Amino acid sequence: MKIRLKPLLASMACLAMTGAPAFATSSFTQFGQEVVYSAKQQIGLPYVWGGEDPNRGFDCSGLIKYTFQEFNVSLPHRADLQYKYGNPVAKSGLQAGDVVFFATGGYPIGHVGIYVGDNQFIHAPRRGRPVQVDSLSSGYYSQRFVGARRFQPDFF
């Protein structure tokens, strides 16, 4: 998978110009924060079945596809197919930017969102509800959590 480096390198360059010493950090941590920042720009946009861009709106897998496409990571536009990408992550090991999957609508994997931290995730829930942040511990989502995946480029 290819990852767009501009936002990541720009933030690193800003840190370097502060004169603060450079420390090795988890590259995924920085990448995940960039993913979350990008996804949060879509909060409030309408749910549109089949939607995958901010001009029209998003469905759940379209939001994931669009957000990761911003970083040159190509994903299909279906939650069940997205679940086949990346590496599995235990619920206890979730980091910002991980993708969380749920069994909904009678499907083994029918819904998807992006973990933002603090047991919260951003998603396009359903018709009539805009892109928003919800809790993984809410009854509905906690009972339907299937797993999580981390889309991590090879160079991390």
Active site residue 123: yes
pTM value is 0.82
| Mean pLDDT to the nearest integer, 68-72 | 90
What six digits make up the tokens of 128?
A: 């009539």
One-letter amino acid of 101: F
Give the C-alpha separation, 113 to 123, whole Å: 5
Nearest in space to 80 (alpha carbons), one of 109, 58, 51: 109
The answer to whether residue 70 is domain-embedded is yes
* Phi, psi torsion values for 40, nearest 5 degrees: -65, -20
Q: What separation, in Å, do the N-terminal and C-terminal C-alpha atoms of the chain show? A: 12
| Mean pLDDT to the nearest integer, 119-127 | 97
The answer to whether residue 155 is domain-embedded is no
Query: Active-site residue among 60, 112, 114, 148?
Result: 60
- Kindly tell me if the per-residue pLDDT of 80 is higher than 50: yes
> pLDDT of 81-109, one tens digit each?
999 999 999 999 999 999 999 999 999 99
> Domain tally for the chain?
1
Cα–Cα distances in Å, from 5 out to 8, 57, 59, 70, 75?
A: 5, 26, 26, 10, 18
Q: What is the CATH number of the domain that holds 134?
A: 3.90.1720.10
Query: Active-site residue among 65, 111, 149, 150?
Result: 111
Active site residue 111: yes
Position 6 confidence tier, pLDDT thresholds 50, 70, 90 = very low
Query: Active-site residue among 65, 78, 123, 149?
Result: 123
> pLDDT of 13-45, one tens digit each?
333 333 444 344 457 889 999 999 999 999 999
Tell me what pLDDT residue 91 has: 96
- For residue 18, give its domain range: 6-150
- CA geometry: angle at 123 spanning 10 and 28, to 5°? 35
